[in-house]
Amino acid sequence: MAWNAFKLCTALRALGYIMVLVVLAIVGLTYYAVVLANYLPAILGGGLSAVIAFPLLILFHILLVMLLWSYFNVVLTDPGVVPPNWRPANDEEGGDRAPLVGSDQSTLVSDPANQKVRFCRKCNHFKPPRCHHCSVCGRCILKMDHHCVWVVNCVGALNYKYFLLFLFYTFLETTLVTLSLFKYFMAFFTEEEVIGTLGTVAASFITFVLNFAFALSVFGFMIMHLSLVASNTTTIEAYEKKATPKWQYDLGRKKNFEQVFGTDKWYWFIPAYSEEDLRRIPALQGIDYPTRPELNALQPL
């Protein structure tokens, strides 16, 4: 009996929801180790320790709120679905803007003059520029970057900003936790007395190791994605771009950045868009067609 890889991918999506629980469990352990086991008792004890612990806990909670806000926006936001019955008017992927020949679907797909007109045989519809089929989600995703098991969702046109902010705040939070628990970690390797019960000591040790590992890995991942944003390239397109002399979607670093984060600077570090940017999301993302019913009246930049 032959394996059906695509059915296996669909099954993996169902199992992937466990990763949400894993993320929440790590957040819960970190909260216990930093707040309940160490720094809240330091505040209640008073003295110099309280002066240091108070601003640290404020910063910890601010970063935690931003991290979770960004995370659940990535999880819950549709990355971008192909509009129903969408069909190209031009060979946009080829960049020549030449009208397509014929109106019959089979003619468009088989016509040698239109080889660059993309059609998804799994979804049975045309694929807009920069659109790719995700075998895990079982559908085509606009400006697909990759399917992320940690967020149980594809990262695409409409949630890429939230994904990048999730990486950013995860890096800041894990770095802060690593620094704040460093002295408790080093106490294991010195003669210094370790304060606390066996449970709190073990929680502090494990939390330090986990957050240190995440800080290092997320930093590398974040740098990679920032370089992709600078050139207006997705992870998938990074391989396609190697065979292209000039990348047609590269508009310059400033405009490339605005396509993802919007034009309002006050919203760049918030997992949301301003009302003005929300009305112009397709243009900001380099998409010249509406991606949701409520965006039908969008005007280009």
DSSP string, 44-97: HH-SHHHHHHHHHHHHHHHHHHHHHHHHHHHHHS---BPPTT---SB-TTTTS-
SS (H, E, C) 136-198: CCCEEECCCCEEECCCCEEECCCCHHHHHHHHHHHHHHHHHHHHHCHHHHHHHHCCCCCCCCH
Task: Specify the pLDDT at position 193.
Answer: 66
Does 99 map to a domain?
no
Is residue 207 a contact partner of residue 30, using CB atoms and an 8 Å limit?
Answer: yes
Domain count, the chain: 1
User: pLDDT tens digits, the chain, 301 residues: what are they?
Assistant: 444 444 555 566 666 678 899 999 999 999 999 999 989 998 988 888 889 899 999 999 999 999 999 999 999 999 988 877 777 765 555 554 444 443 344 334 433 334 467 888 888 888 888 899 998 888 899 999 999 989 999 999 999 999 999 999 999 999 999 999 998 888 777 766 666 677 888 899 999 999 999 999 999 999 999 999 999 999 998 877 666 667 788 889 999 999 999 999 999 999 999 888 887 766 555 555 444 433 333 333 2
C-alpha–C-alpha distance, residues 197 and 128, integer Å = 58
C-alpha–C-alpha distance, residues 87 and 289, integer Å = 11
Q: Which of 137, 140, 148, 154 is catalytic?
A: 148
H or E segment to which residue 120 belongs: strand 119-120
148 is catalytic: yes
Neighbours of 1 (CB within 10 A): 3
Domain containing residue 56: 21-81+158-295
Task: Specify the pLDDT at position 283.
Answer: 59
| CB neighbour list of residue 251: distance below 8 Å, 6 or more residues apart | 232, 259, 286
Is residue 180 a contact partner of residue 34, using CB atoms and an 8 Å limit?
Answer: yes
Does 269 map to a domain?
yes
Does 93 map to a domain?
no
SS (H, E, C) 2-21: CCCHHHHHHHHHHHHCHHHH
Q: Classify residue 71 as exposed, middle or buried by CB count within 10 Å of its CB (0-12, 13-18, 19+).
A: buried
Does 117 map to a domain?
no
Does 74 map to a domain?
yes
CA angle (78 as vertex; 15, 166 as ends), nearest 5: 75
Cβ burial 220-248 (10 Å sphere, 16+ → b, else e): eebeebeebbebbbbeebeeebeeeeeee
Q: What share of the chain is helix, strand, coil (3-state, %, to 5)?
A: 55, 5, 40
C-alpha–C-alpha distance, residues 109 and 243, integer Å = 23
Does 121 map to a domain?
no
Does 116 map to a domain?
no
Task: Specify the pLDDT at position 116.
Answer: 63
**Cα 117 vs. chain centroid, distance in angstroms?**
28
C-alpha–C-alpha distance, residues 73 and 269, integer Å = 13
Does 201 map to a domain?
yes
**Cα 95 vs. chain centroid, distance in angstroms?**
28
SS3 133: strand
H or E segment to which residue 119 belongs: strand 119-120
Residue 250 tokens, joined: 């590269």
